């Protein structure tokens, strides 16, 4: 049995029309909502149906495109939430997006012993990035690693070093950089395209 806590996802960027049926199915399978406290979304299921069913499902889906920036949500992205997401993840949607190179940002709230979390994926990335955050969405860095870097710098100063060597500075910078989230571009507005542009 999994713990369940609030999670939300934004989907953005250029999405080929050929990927829309699968995305709609993933959203239906996920049992998420279009707003906190709302009932689950149930889009028309285009699988093995005539093209007009897919067209109707896409029109329903587009109702969930955000129109304003608000609390870190990008303008004109698809936005869904689940107040009781298993482990705070929206697995069906996330996996479909990663497998089909569709950009997204998923945020989950803290719950009990679990910290808030953000998962980032953009079209073209080889892997997604997941990192813990505070309640405001700022990344949390593991204090153990930072403490070790500070202690090393203090030891060098005690030994009489007046400044860190370039090699030491490079190592420290690389260590801190690995603790930080991967830098990703902002989510682009959600757009359905006929085919991937080359």
CA-based nearest residue to 148, from 189, 123, 179, 194: 179
107 and 90 within one domain: yes
pLDDT at position 34, please? 92
Structural domain contains residue 48: yes
The per-residue pLDDT string of the chain (198 residues; one tens digit each, 9 = 90 and over) reads: 568 889 999 999 999 999 999 999 999 999 999 999 999 999 988 876 788 888 899 999 999 998 776 667 778 999 999 999 998 999 999 999 999 999 999 999 876 677 789 999 999 999 999 888 887 777 787 777 777 777 776 776 677 665 556 576 677 777 777 777 788 889 999 999 987 555
- Rounded-to-integer distance, Cα 163 and Cα 125, Å: 38
82 and 37 within one domain: yes
189 and 154 within one domain: no
Looking at the structure of the chain, the number of domains it has is 2
29-64 core/surface letters (b: 16 or more CB in 10 A; e: else) = ebebbeeeeeeebebbebeeeeeebbeebbeebeeb
The burial class, CB within 10 Å (0-12 / 13-18 / 19+), for 96 is buried
Contact predicate 100/111, CB 8 Å = no
160 and 101 within one domain: no
- Look up the domain containing 157 and give its range: 143-179
Q: What is the pLDDT of residues 39-85, one digit of tens each?
A: 999 998 887 678 888 889 999 999 999 877 666 777 899 999 999 99
Structural domain contains residue 198: no
124 and 106 within one domain: yes
Structural domain contains residue 73: yes
pLDDT at position 171, please? 74
121 and 77 within one domain: yes
Helices and strands in the chain: count of H runs, count of E runs: 5, 7
pLDDT at position 165, please? 65
- Rounded-to-integer distance, Cα 54 and Cα 59, Å: 9
135 and 115 within one domain: yes
152 and 99 within one domain: no
Which residues, other chains included, contact 128 with Cβ-Cβ below 8 Å and sequence gap of 6+?
94, 98, 119, 120, 121
Structural domain contains residue 166: yes
116 and 166 within one domain: no
pLDDT at position 33, please? 94
pLDDT at position 197, please? 54
pLDDT at position 45, please? 85
Structural domain contains residue 112: yes
41 and 17 within one domain: yes
40 and 16 within one domain: yes
| pTM, entire model | 0.81
66-76 core/surface letters (b: 16 or more CB in 10 A; e: else) = beeeeeeebeb
117 and 86 within one domain: yes
- Rounded-to-integer distance, Cα 132 and Cα 155, Å: 30
Which residues, other chains included, contact 89 with Cβ-Cβ below 8 Å and sequence gap of 6+?
7, 106, 108, 119
Structural domain contains residue 86: yes
């Amino acid at each position: 049995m999994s713990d369940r806590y609030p999670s939300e996802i934004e989907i953005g960027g250029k999405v080929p029309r050929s990927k829309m049926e699968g995305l709609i199915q993933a959203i239906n399978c996920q049992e998420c909502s279009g707003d906190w406290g709302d009932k689950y979304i149930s889009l028309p299921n285009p699988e093995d149906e005539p093209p007009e069913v897919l067209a109707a499902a896409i029109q329903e889906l587009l109702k969930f495109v955000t129109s304003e920036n608000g609390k870190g949500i990008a303008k004109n992205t698809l936005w869904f939430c689940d107040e009781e997401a298993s482990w705070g993840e929206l697995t069906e949607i996330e996996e479909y997006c990663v497998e089909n190179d569709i950009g997204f940002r998923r945020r989950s709230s803290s719950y009990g012993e679990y910290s808030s979390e953000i998962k980032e994926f953009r079209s073209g990335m080889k892997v997604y990035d997941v990192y813990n955050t505070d309640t405001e969405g700022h990344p949390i860095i593991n204090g153990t690693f930072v403490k070790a870097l500070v202690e090393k710098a203090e030891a060098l100063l005690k030994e009489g070093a007046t400044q860190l060597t370039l090699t030491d500075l490079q190592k420290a910078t690389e260590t801190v950089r690995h603790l930080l989230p991967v830098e990703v571009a902002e989510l682009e507005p959600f757009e359905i395209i006929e085919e991937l542009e080359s």
